[in-house]
Structure 1
Amino acid sequence: MSAQTHLPSLLSRTGAVSALTIAAVGGSLVLPGGAPEAHATAAHATKALNVAASKKGSPYRYGATGPHRFDCSGLTLYAYKKAGKKLPRTAQQQYNRTRHIRASQRQRGDLVFFQARGYVYHVGIYAGGGRIWHSPKTGSVVKLSKIWSKSVRYGRVR
């Protein structure tokens, strides 16, 4: 039996057990909001980023959600759906649904929202190095681009 299997008996005999004790016997401690959730979020973000990158060259089409054509929010919706996360349809709705983070906290796979006059008009997936995967506009394709504006906000998909 593993230390995790013995954890309930440890708790019942001593009434309490510290995280250090659990670690010392080779167990793991899972708390809401702890590392396993953070790891799952990071794994989903990495998968979504990889899905978006795999769509390089796919044509832009207004309102399209894939698998061969995309608009900006259609690409993020598609990528995160393939990663096991559900997002709403539009860039503004996606912004409203994500956990807002500072630029200093951004990680690969986070969403990058472009704003003008308080309105979100574009979204992409952060690729690192100040770049995003996105589907920019009619006549263009899914591509990796440098973030071109300072009027951006970042969101982490939960």
Structure 2
Amino acid sequence: MLLSGCSQSPKAPETSAALWEQNRELKTFYGEWYGTPYQFGGNTKEGIDCSAFVQQAFLYAYQRALPRTTLAQFNASQPIRWEERQQGDLLFFKTTKSDYHVGIYLNHQQFMHASTSKGVIISRTDNPYWASKFWQIRRVTM
């Protein structure tokens, strides 16, 4: 299975304190990276892609080193049921036949990610675009 790339995102939703109730470090990390432009293969605040953003977030918020690529992050996590979701779970989206996207679930149907069109933002899982592209939710065992 080949997983690559990151996809476009619709308008970002409003955020609230409840999004961060389980991990304040995620809030701090997001605040530091919000608006960073998307760059395929990027891994800095000059430009970052979706899997590098997830990798950096996990290192900052959970002191957990994740692999660098979407495929490796997929393989480093275990599938869970949607009803079992928690803040910090990984959301995988199939954006084209061969491109996949990854983000981090927050709370209240929202997730943070590096969007190809908007850079680092928060989007909603129930947005029609993301709902139609949703593939799997997975958990990294700490």
Could you tell me how far apart the structure 1 residues matched to 2:25 and 2:70 are?
A: 16
* Partner in structure 1 of residue 53 of structure 2: 75
Could you tell me how far apart the structure 2 residues matched to 1:51 and 1:74 are?
A: 17
**Amino-acid identity (%):** 32
Q: Which one has more relative contact order, counting CA pairs under 8 Å at least 6 apart?
A: 2
Could you tell me how far apart the structure 2 residues matched to 1:67 and 1:48 are?
A: 18
TM-score, length-scaled by structure 1: 0.62
2:105 maps to 1:123 = no
**Please, which moves more after superposition, 115-124 or 70-79?**
115-124
1:149 to 105, 119, 131: 131
Instruction: Give me the CA root mean square deviation.
Output: 2.3
Alpha-carbon distance change, 120 to 94 in structure 1, aligned in 2, over 3 angstroms: farther
The structural deviation recorded for 1:131 is 1.2
2:85 maps to 1:106 = yes
Give matches, 1:1-158, under 5 Å. 46=23, 49-54=26-31, 55-82=33-60, 83-115=62-94, 121-137=100-116, 139-147=117-125, 148-150=130-132, 151-158=134-141
Task: Tell me the matched-pair count.
Answer: 113
| Greater Cα radius of gyration, structure 1 or 2 | 1
Higher helix fraction (1 or 2): 1
TM-score, length-scaled by structure 2: 0.69
Alpha-carbon distance change, 58 to 116 in structure 1, aligned in 2, over 3 angstroms: closer
The structural deviation recorded for 1:155 is 1.4
Could you list the runs of 5+ residues in structure 2 that have no partner in the other structure?
Answer: 1-21
Alpha-carbon distance change, 113 to 81 in structure 1, aligned in 2, over 3 angstroms: same
SS in 1 for 2:103: strand
Could you tell me how far apart the structure 1 residues matched to 2:96 and 2:38 are?
A: 25
Q: Per-residue displacement from partner, 1:17-43 (whole Å, max 9, x unpaired)? A: xxxxxxxxxxxxxxxxxxxxxxxxxxx
Higher strand fraction (1 or 2): 2
**8 Å contact kept, 1:92–1:119:** no
Could you list the runs of 5+ residues in structure 1 that have no partner in the other structure?
Answer: 1-44
Counterpart residue identity of residue 67, structure 2: P
Alpha-carbon distance change, 58 to 154 in structure 1, aligned in 2, over 3 angstroms: same
